Amino acid sequence: MKRILLFALLLILQINAAISQDAEKHQVEAKVFGFIGYDAILDTYKSLDARDGELIFYPLRPRLDSTGKDINKAVQLQMLSISTRLGLSVRGPDILGAKSSALVEADFYATKNDYVSLLRIRHAMFKLKWATTELLVGQYWHPVFVTDVAPSVISFGSGAPFHSLNRSPQIRFSYFPYPMVRISLTALMQSYHKSSGPEDAQRNSGKPELMLQAAAGSAEEFLAGLSVGYKWLTPRLVTQTGYATCKTSGQYLFSAFLLKKLGKTVVKAEAVYGQNPTHLNMIGGYGMASGSGPAPNDDYDYTSLNTLSTWVDVQHQAGKMGVGLFAGYSKLYGADKNYTSLAGYSRNDDLNNIYRISPRLSYQAESITFALEYMLTAATYGSTFDNRHRVTSSLDPVYNHRATLNIKYSF
């Protein structure tokens, strides 16, 4: 037994030495990074959320008991550490005349509520960077999530559902005609961030989502850009009565983003308008185009709800103290055709609009950050709708007040 242990130890030392020599030979630099996070969360109204309440969307539709009391009006407390993160960044040797780099990152957020606290892949990608072009391959942020123009909020979710939250397997080609100008084209497939409806709808279409983006400027002073995208969803391959179908819903997306630095203050803003942006964790969806079916073979066409989402974020840094404010607004504008709701094909197609106001305060002491954030989120649900599912009258708004204490140790 001692001989086996000694042999194993020698083998590990030899492998480690070989890796070190190979890394030195190929000029590989690897850095471990991450943080341990703790969140204490207090809510005053039951809301649509995920992962034991870590990610919040908006208050649920009022649910009244026989006496008229709202069942959803209840105080809830939660403590979580599932946002804890571990990553590895790599700078590799030149490949095909390009600078190479890679990123692997994971957390304990899992991919579904059923798997909460289990490890999941956040990012797993590599890049090749030439003088004026760049190739990114792997799982990374959706192009609409521009890392330099993401809200600096404390709560998990980067401002979702007003700001996009999506990581997807992709291949992205970027061209830099000038040092401060970038044009990129991305083809991507949905991973654990999927559109509402059948989970294999994009796969069934046989087409990737395509995104074209142009940006100018630098995150150091001023940055602005535009995005346009299109995706295809084929929810069913067979009807309920057993007939083959390939009816597909094509859905577009536009976005504009802006960043401006004013001394120690950073202002960020974004507007997104599109059809069924639920894969970005936004509100919306799609359903049956009324009048297109059901036909004798139980087939029908689809039509998508149009969603507008806007937000602005202001962050001011004064030494170790940080003060910020996030404000977001989203609204459903109905469909282009007469609309019939399909169960599970939307994220609350009975909504009219939602908004959020969220101030925050943070203090950093070496590797530890203490932060406190207050979040007011309001949801207005529709009471009556026209044929295209545009709201004609609404219920009174419902509100959730959330207070989050976040403590983070980074390394």
Mean pLDDT computed over 363-388: 97
Q: What is the mean pLDDT of the chain?
A: 93
- Whether 10 is covered by a domain: the verdict is no
Question: Per-residue confidence at 114, pLDDT binned at 50, 70, 90?
Answer: confident
- Whether 270 is covered by a domain: the verdict is yes
Other CB atoms closer than 10 Å to residue 121's CB: what's the count? Answer: 16
In one-letter notation, the amino acid at residue 335 is A
For residue 2, what are the contacts with CB-CB under 8 A and spacing of at least 6? none
Report in angstroms the alpha-carbon separations of 195 from 249, 272, 339: 12, 16, 18
The pLDDT assigned to 297 comes to 83
- Whether 369 is covered by a domain: the verdict is yes
- Whether 37 is covered by a domain: the verdict is yes
Q: 254 pairs with which residues across the strands? A: 228, 273
- Whether 20 is covered by a domain: the verdict is no
- Whether 16 is covered by a domain: the verdict is no
CA dist 310 and 216 (Å) reads 20
Q: Which residue has the higher pLDDT, 14 or 137?
A: 137
Mean pLDDT computed over 75-100: 96
The pLDDT assigned to 6 comes to 42
Q: Each residue of 257-313: pLDDT tens digit?
A: 999 999 999 999 999 999 999 999 999 999 999 988 777 788 999 999 999 999 999
Share of the chain above pLDDT 90, in %: 88
Res 160 pLDDT > 90: yes
CA dist 204 and 186 (Å) reads 20
Res 195 pLDDT > 70: yes
The pLDDT assigned to 8 comes to 40
- Whether 11 is covered by a domain: the verdict is no
Res 347 pLDDT > 60: yes
Q: What is the 3-state secondary structure (H, E, C) of 216-251?
A: EEECCCEEEEEEEEEEEECCCCECCCCCECCCCEEE
- Whether 8 is covered by a domain: the verdict is no
Q: Domain range for residue 40? A: 28-410
CA dist 90 and 138 (Å) reads 14
The pLDDT assigned to 188 comes to 98
The pLDDT assigned to 1 comes to 40
Structure tokens at 89: 């960044």
The pLDDT assigned to 298 comes to 87
Res 111 pLDDT > 60: yes
CATH number at residue 108: 2.40.160.10
Question: Per-residue confidence at 21, pLDDT binned at 50, 70, 90?
Answer: low
The pLDDT assigned to 291 comes to 85
Structural domains in the chain (count): 1
